[in-house]
Amino acid sequence: MSRPSKKLFTFFLMLAAFFALSQTLSAASYRLWLKDKIRFPYSTATGDTTGGSDCWGWTAPDGTEYAIMGVRDGIAVVNAHTMQIKGVVPGPQTPASYYWRDVETYGHYAYAVSELTGTNQGLSVIDLQYLPDSLHFVGSFPLNLSGNVTAHTIAIDTAKGVAYCERNGSLGQAIVILNLANPELPTFVGSFGPSPQSIHDMFARNDTVFVAEGYDSLAQGSWSVWNCANKAVPTQITRVIFPGAGYVHSAVATEDRNWLLTTEEIPAGKTMKLWDIADLGNIDLRGQYIGAAQRPHNVYPKGNLVFVSHYEAGVTVVDISNPDTLVEVARYDTYPASDFANYRGCWSAYPYAANEYVYASNLDGWLFVLRFGQVGDLNFDSLLSPADVVLALNCIFSGSGDCPPEILDANCDASVTPADIVLLLKAVFNGEPFPC
């Protein structure tokens, strides 16, 4: 470090000591940016580019992060650090038009379903434990005793080791239940469904299942909550039909299960809604949000934030800490060509990986590995603290450490300078908000 740099370093340490005399909490500012991306083969159907669908994630015991994505040819697994494709497990492809696939994980296994038939049709089971060397395809299994092999979505209750699969009512009862006690041999244990609703998606935790019911026979949008402790006879706890509802596409509870997030995919212009479900006997609609493309798709709550896959708007991040006023705090546009309410762009946005990675999948075959962070939070611990100031000083004056410019550039001038440290000091020690 040169002599002037040492003097500046000492000066900023003195500033830090000064600001520490009046420490308060600063409002958070967030950024979402691209780490890397990769594109898988795609096809064209009725004028649309298709091939990508759902994505999920898995962390290996050694800490390596893997993104898992439904692609045209099957289920792809990608090392999120290096973007190396570790393999693609072939999936069914008939009829060849839209290659919608849905995937989640349980332990070191990935479970995938599709509406298509053919190679590996049914519930595909993939063993991830042999990564990075190889993927091991365990096999594919029918979804019920009648041999049904197609489903649009899967939801896994990881606390109970149970998978729920849905196929819009074509199973007689719309949702089937599979026991994963033997993770390599899923076993049918029951089925249920609020017939005649057109069930679309589920969210399951601790034997409670939240069901997005699409439309019923009267074209009413609704969602319901089910007690599935008895897999042979699940019972409905409550059902919510709300005025003006569109096709209820997803229903996902927060970790504390005090709040439920729903989206309505049809028609365009319907909002993501936040429901107070702390008392299931007194459910209350609180906040609403919609992004630029006017068609939210899937939602992923994480603490007081919700990551929304929003088709042509890409990935948006919404702060729900004030349930009556939902605020978009970050966005990454995975489909910069336009912001229309079309079925193009982002399908899923998985925010639960380590390193603040967010995986986003596009219908046109792109997988994006994004990074999310709070401005100034250089150690990614979700807090602004003196430790972040020390990291910033080291990055600017000695060139050491991992300091993404996206969150160190506090004044948004596209450069990292001592001026950014001054703003960070004010935020950490005096509670002042960042200017942008």
**Identity at 364, one-letter amino acid code:** D
Strand ordering across the sheet containing 30-39: 30-39, 366-374, 357-362, 346-350
Arithmetic mean of pLDDT, 259-263: 97
Query: Shortest CA distance to 227 belongs to which of 216, 235, 217, 239?
Result: 235
pTM of the model: 0.91
Q: Which residue has the higher pLDDT, 6 or 387?
A: 387
Distance CA 334, CA 345 (A): 6
| Residue 245 near residue 264 (C-beta atoms within 8 A) | yes
Query: Shortest CA distance to 21 belongs to which of 435, 428, 379?
Result: 428
Q: What is the pLDDT of residue 114?
A: 93
Q: What is the pLDDT of residue 246?
A: 87
Arithmetic mean of pLDDT, 412-416: 89
Query: Shortest CA distance to 350 belongs to which of 403, 297, 402?
Result: 297
Q: What is the pLDDT of residue 17?
A: 47
Sign of CA dihedral 305, 51, 85, 59: positive
pLDDT of 286 higher than 90: yes
pLDDT single digits (tens) 134-151: 999 999 999 887 888 889
Distance CA 54, CA 103 (A): 7
Arithmetic mean of pLDDT, 259-266: 95
pLDDT single digits (tens) 146-167: 888 889 999 999 999 999 998 7
Is CATH 2.130.10.10 the classification given to domain 33-374? yes
Q: In the structure, what pLDDT confidence band is assigned to residue 342 with cuts at 50, 70 and 90? A: confident
Q: What is the pLDDT of residue 1?
A: 42
Residue extents of the structural domains in the chain: 3-28+378-430, 33-374
Q: In the structure, what pLDDT confidence band is assigned to residue 95 with cuts at 50, 70 and 90? A: confident
Is CATH 3.40.50.2300 the classification given to domain 3-28+378-430? no
Q: In the structure, what pLDDT confidence band is assigned to residue 20 with cuts at 50, 70 and 90? A: very low
Distance CA 131, CA 127 (A): 9
Q: What is the pLDDT of residue 46?
A: 64
